[in-house]
Copies of this chain bind each other. A is one copy, B any other.
């Protein structure tokens, strides 16, 4: 069975869990908690040298990291990866946009505002990210004003990749009421078969922690 390393609070981990649930693929989750610094430990770097969650281990021992690469791999041969090179490129375009222009602003502000032990001295960064994040949401809203889905005219891993941190953008200080097209798109995704809430545990076995808490 697949082993997924990561914590529920991470949107990047949630992306993988959303796709696994959608595809009906069972997994066991191992807790690797970002807030406690677990991804940077030697134990986890032996699994993923980059030191970031999620990482997905297959039965043969191979490990894949980077949420975008994991989504790509799992989606092959399923309706979540469309047909045709142009649609493939469009899906990846939104996924790279998410990792470069959306996540570093919106997810980072969510982290600073909710999880950082000492957020003093972060005001300038929060303000800069607020501007970048609002731009990223505006880019999404412009696309979704005329289309139901981000790419390829259907629900794909591009939507999953953007859903994860967009649906909690309010926790990052953004007002999604200003982007009604995004609100409708979020509701459309939440109504999809197999959809799970971020904090809904879907591990097929009790979750163990990679790093002892003691």
Contact = CB atoms under 8 A, between A and B. Distances in A.
B93 A85 contact: no
Given A50-B139, A92-B92, A99-B100, 16 more contacts: A49-B143, A50-B101, A51-B135, A52-B101, A64-B90, A64-B93, A66-B92, A66-B97, A68-B96, A69-B96, A72-B89, A72-B92, A76-B85, A96-B96, A100-B103, A100-B104
Contacts of A204: none
17 contacts: A50-B139, A64-B90, A65-B93, A66-B92, A66-B93, A66-B96, A66-B100, A68-B92, A69-B96, A72-B92, A73-B85, A73-B86, A76-B85, A92-B92, A99-B99, A100-B104, A104-B104
Interface string A132-155: 000100010011000000000000
Interface residues of A, number: 34
Interface in A94-142: 95-97, 99-101, 103-104, 135, 139, 142
